[in-house]
Amino acid sequence: MFNRKAGRRTGKAVSEGFDAGHPMAEVMRSIQPADVDMDPEARERLMSRLFSVQRRMVRERHGRGWAGWKAVLIAGAAAAAAVAVALAIMVPTPEKPEPARQFARASGFLGNVEVMQPHGEWRAVVNGESLEAGVSVRTGDASFITILFPDGSIMRISDGSEARIKGLGEQSVSLEHVRGGTYHRVHNGTRYTVMNQDVSSRALGTAFNVDNRTEGNLEILTVQSAVEVRIGGHEPIKVDEGEVMVVSLSQDKKAVKQKVSRERLAEGRLYANVQQDAQDGYSTGIYEQVDMEPEQLADEESGARDEVSPVISLEGSATETGVSLNWNWSAEHEGEFHELVVLRSDFSEPVYPDDEIARYSDVSIRTANDDSVTGGQTYQYRLAARSGYGSITHSNTVVINVPVPEPEPKPASISLSASTSANGVTLEWSVSGVTNFNGFVVERMVEKAPRESKTPAGGVDVTRIDSGDVFYTYLDGDAAPKHTYTYRVGLVVEGAVMVYSNSATVKLP
């Protein structure tokens, strides 16, 4: 245990076996902290105490006998145990270090670029300054900025745009795309998410572009690899390399996913970001698959047919009861198709023929309805057109969220209870299923009455109450003893009784 260290300090050794087998000594050993956890001075005090106990035991062993020796040992061991426990409590436990704060960096900018701390004011950015979570960045006309994140990921904010850094970690980046256009080059292994309202785009080791310059629409365009787009609480939808998804930010949250057009790839802001990636040695994804240079694409006549765009254009909308689809193609493709197949999938892009839900041999049909959907679910639709040679031509994919049906309104009703009291009969009722009404009528019918009663059986009294309260208490102070009454309450809407309550019968003693 510790006899060798004690021997060096005192010139004598404390025998570890002097108290072997004694219960108190064993307890003391079990709770004593290890040498490495003890302060040197505390260890010295503990050893001196143990050595003193041993010497006193040796002196008194012959005079006291076993009983006396046992008492001394117990006292010494208890004292040593108390010292050990106190030292163990006093030794500080190393605190777990807090993770270091992470900062992004403004790497380079052009034109009018401003930053704002949380609850602060906009000010001009400083090149190379550190940006922490909560900072917003915006650009003016003909301006842009590059933001470098701790993991090596990059965000480029184009002109007339705004973004906010929501969270930063060693391997995580969370951003809010507010307006305009942002381009993202994501480091492999980083959890990288871009939010806009309730639409989140999570990168899968990706280069992608987010744009909402068109009012009411959010575009997510994948340049390399893939992005998972989650709309509200629905399952994420994968947008692969070379695909673009446009999400309508209106209440019904429609979305369309299709191959990106050649004209879109040639757009100046997007292409400038891809050029920068190429200069930095990154893969340019879909641009490496296009057989013409983007500079040439930009010079093509805008009226030329897009070879990457779908031949068949599909659109769709949803109501609580179903999905409506409509499609079209240009006149140059008339007579080209001989059969149309509607495809639908719940979680991924539908494929032919596995996801077929309808087939039409009449190719003049341009609409279809799907009433087999469930409210609150998201579906992806696609059209497959078969040609006379057996080849398949696909339309774009539309992503449609079916709204949850509004619950059927409950019919108006009144629940009535009645009880006797010292002053008469107390009525209480509550109204459900309606909030706009004009009042109540209380009907009281005499069920039984004594012979001498002034209100014989069969008589009915009606009382009008003007109130819009959904819970009401009413005291009938005219109820007479030895009578039995039956009450009901009517709900008055625009001067007429809309519905009556249940009946309640009370017998007065």
Q: Are 147 and 131 within 8 A, CB to CB?
A: yes
> How many other C-beta atoms lie within 10 A of the C-beta of residue 181?
25
pLDDT digits (tens, 9 = 90+) for 349-373: 788 989 999 999 999 999 999 999 9
pLDDT of residue 290: 78
Tell me which amino acid residue 278 is.
A
Neighbouring-strand partners of residue 383: 342
Helix, strand, or coil (residue 64): helix
Alpha-carbon distance 349 to 229, whole Å? Answer: 13
Instruction: For CATH 2.60.40.10, list the domain ranges present in the chain.
Output: 313-401, 413-507
Alpha-carbon distance 24 to 75, whole Å? Answer: 9
pLDDT of residue 32: 53
Q: Which of 403, 394, 404 is nearest to 257 (CA)?
A: 394
pLDDT of residue 301: 39
pLDDT lower than 50: segments of the chain:
1-14, 18, 22-24, 27-28, 31, 36, 64, 66, 69, 292, 294-295, 297-308
* CATH number assigned to the domain covering 413-507: 2.60.40.10
Take residue 22 and report the two structure tokens written for it.
């004694």
Q: Which of 74, 83, 36 is nearest to 56 (CA)?
A: 74
C-alpha pair distances (Å), 133 with each of 222, 234, 274, 451: 25, 27, 27, 87
Sheet holding 136-139, edge to edge: 123-124, 113-116, 136-139, 162-169, 172-179, 191-196, 199-203, 226-231, 237-240
Helix, strand, or coil (residue 409): coil
> Would you give the distance in Å from CA 279 to the centre of its chain?
37
pLDDT digits (tens, 9 = 90+) for 277-319: 998 999 999 998 875 454 454 444 333 334 445 689 999 999 8
Q: Are 400 and 317 within 8 A, CB to CB?
A: yes
Tell me which amino acid residue 319 is.
T
- The per-residue DSSP string of 289-330 comes to T-SS-HHHHHHS-TTSPPSSS-SBEEEEEE-SS-EEEEEE--
Take residue 295 and report the two structure tokens written for it.
């500079």
> Which residue's structure tokens are 């107390």?
426
The torsion region of residue 309 among left (phi > 0), alpha (psi -120 to 50) and beta comes to: beta
Alpha-carbon distance 489 to 209, whole Å? Answer: 64
Helix, strand, or coil (residue 487): strand
pLDDT of residue 63: 52
Take residue 363 and report the two structure tokens written for it.
């190719």
> Which residue's structure tokens are 């006093």?
90
> Which residue's structure tokens are 């077929």?
356
> Would you give the distance in Å from CA 109 to the centre of its chain?
33
Residues sharing a CB contact under 8 Å with residue 391, sequence separation 6 or more, in sequence order: none
Class of domain 104-299 (CATH, top level)? mainly beta
Helix, strand, or coil (residue 504): strand
Does this model's pTM top 0.85? no
Sheet holding 323-328, edge to edge: 313-318, 323-328, 367-370
Q: Which of 320, 319, 178, 349 is nearest to 256 (CA)?
A: 349
Q: Which of 342, 350, 429, 425 is nearest to 386 (CA)?
A: 342
Class of domain 313-401 (CATH, top level)? mainly beta
pLDDT of residue 57: 58
pLDDT of residue 297: 47
- The per-residue DSSP string of 325-389 comes to EEEE--GGGTTSEEEEEEEEESSS---TTTTEEEEES-TT--EEEE----TT-EEEEEEEEEETT
Q: Are 57 and 110 within 8 A, CB to CB?
A: no
Helix, strand, or coil (residue 437): coil
- The per-residue DSSP string of 245-293 comes to EEEE-STT--EEEEEPPHHHHT-HHHHHHHHHHHHTT---GGGGT-SS-
Which backbone phi and psi does 126 adopt, to 5 degrees? -110, 130
